[in-house]
């Protein structure tokens, strides 16, 4: 009976160590992904932000953007709104130029 208890305890310790190692790796991987996604100056983040913006404000073009779904709202063609879109576009260009090649 005592031998069985020792064997069972040894298996439990080995299994717990493996499980703990897997948990540590998983937490590290999640932390790494969070760090990569949190970088606002990364090319991936710039790309995501730009295409989200483009899908919303450039629905009247003949390129592939037309395949994206957009909210069914009216387009604001006022001078102020067009000026704001130009500022936003300049902001994307400035972010693009800050990214290291």
- Whether 92 and 46 have beta carbons less than 8 Å apart is answered as yes
Which pTM does this prediction carry? 0.51
Distance CA 39, CA 34 (A): 9
Spell out, as residue ranges, where the chain has pLDDT lower than 70: 1-40, 59-73, 101
pLDDT at position 75 is 77
Burial 45-64 (b: 16+ CB within 10 A, else e): bbeeebeeebbebbeeeeee
pLDDT at position 94 is 94
């Amino acid at each position: 009976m005592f031998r069985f208890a020792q064997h069972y305890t040894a298996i439990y310790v080995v299994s717990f160590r493996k499980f703990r190692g897997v948990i540590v790796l998983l937490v590290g991987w999640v932390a790494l992904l969070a760090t990569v996604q949190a970088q606002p100056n990364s090319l991936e983040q710039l790309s995501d932000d730009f295409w989200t913006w483009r899908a919303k404000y450039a629905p009247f073009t003949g390129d592939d953007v037309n395949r994206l779904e957009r909210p069914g709202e009216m387009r604001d063609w006022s001078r102020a709104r067009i000026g704001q879109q130009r500022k936003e576009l300049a902001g994307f260009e400035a972010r693009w130029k800050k990214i290291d090649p």
